[in-house]
Amino acid sequence: MTKLLMLLLVIVLLFTPEISEAKYCKYYRSCAEVIADHPDGKFGKRDGDNDVIPCENVCRSRQQVEDLLNQMARSKKIKIR
């Protein structure tokens, strides 16, 4: 019985949206969310065509991505001081 409960717990954890959602572009609701998860600008699989625009379902242009990255960098500098 304990093994069954453990297996069920593992299955639930694997399919919990908070854990699995950010892995796929279709789960991001905004470009800002994508950038917040990847503030270093390294988007990996989220930029499949290597055009520096990750998750094109929510990030519409290179300029939008650059603006968000710059905003994040500025906000981190402000918080450090």
- The chain-wide mean pLDDT, for the chain, equals 81
Mean pLDDT of 5-12: 60
Q: What is the pLDDT of residue 74?
A: 87
Q: What is the pLDDT of residue 10?
A: 59
Q: Using one digit for the tens of pLDDT, what is the confidence trace for 22-71?
A: 579 999 999 999 999 998 999 999 999 999 999 999 999 999 999 999 99
DSSP string, the chain: -HHHHHHHHHHHHHT-HHHHGGGSGGG--SHHHHHHH-TTS--GGGSTT-SS---TTT---HHHHHHHHHHHHHHHHHHH-
